[in-house]
Amino acid sequence: MAKKNNVVAVIAAFNEEKKISKVIRQVAKHVNHIIVVDDGSVDNTALKAKYKKVTILRHIINLGQGAALQTGFEYARILKPDVVITYDADGQFEASDINKFVKPIVKRKADVVLGSRFLGKALSMPQSRLIILKLGILFTRFFSNIRLTDTHNGFRAFSGEAINKIELKHNRWAHPSEIIYQISKNKFRVKEVPITVRYSKYSWKKGQKNTEAFKIPIELIIKALVNS
């Protein structure tokens, strides 16, 4: 399905030289084009990301995952995609799940497809992360009015039309909440699909710290205040 339609994957990467190469090889089997946004890495991420089908965009300084995704979206629009997938660079996801995301969009049953580890499997997930994620789901549900089982998950898909309307202003940790608000604001049809998320020592070290989750409401409030 991915080959017939123009499926583009956007991968934001910051100091991912150990994993990026493997992740790209896995994702490349399921998409037509990969955009890797090297978000100011100080290691060899950009070098390791070189592969067929891959375009590397380099932020000269680190801006954050939200900013990197928006850069990827803006470049993806040039490629006139049918589907844009967002995928984490740390190897937590299973690339074989990509087809589950593509199908509802090409069949025009959804504008946005979100991965849910709670409908699928979250392997080796620490208990503390589970609590933080559940709090995040409640927080996002309260403010966006969308009932989802997983909100802070980097595995998503957008239709070509939807990606033209997504405009992320939050550069750092608040961007997953912002995506949900924009889905709500644009009245996109959403579907959740079960995915497998595999926590490892590496992904735990690389990913968001539990304490950083508390910065999200503060970031959202400050941004709302200054943009009002």
Partner 1 sequence: MITPSQLLLASIILFVIWRTHAAYKKKNLSESFVAVWTIFWLGVLILVFKQDLVSQAAHSLGVSRGVDLVIYISLIVIFYFVYKILVLINDLDGKITQIIRKIAINEAKKRPHR
Residues that bind partner 1 (CB under 8 A): 37, 55-61, 63, 67, 70-71, 74-75, 169, 171, 222-223, 225-227
- Closest distance to partner 1 from the beta carbon of 54 (Å): 8
- Closest distance to partner 1 from the beta carbon of 151 (Å): 23
Q: Which is nearer to partner 1, 19 or 170 (CB)?
A: 170
Alpha helices in the chain (DSSP H): 20-28, 45-48, 65-78, 98-106, 127-144, 160-165, 175-185, 201-206, 215-226
- Closest distance to partner 1 from the beta carbon of 63 (Å): 6
Q: Which is nearer to partner 1, 51 or 199 (CB)?
A: 51
Q: Which is nearer to partner 1, 171 or 177 (CB)?
A: 171
| Tokens coding 94 | 């299973």
Q: Which is nearer to partner 1, 33 or 129 (CB)?
A: 33
Residue 200: closest CA among 10, 18, 50, 40: 18
- Closest distance to partner 1 from the beta carbon of 218 (Å): 12
Residue 17 carries which DSSP code?
T
Dihedral sign (CA 87, 90, 91, 93) = negative
- C-alpha 14/C-alpha 17 separation (Å) is 9
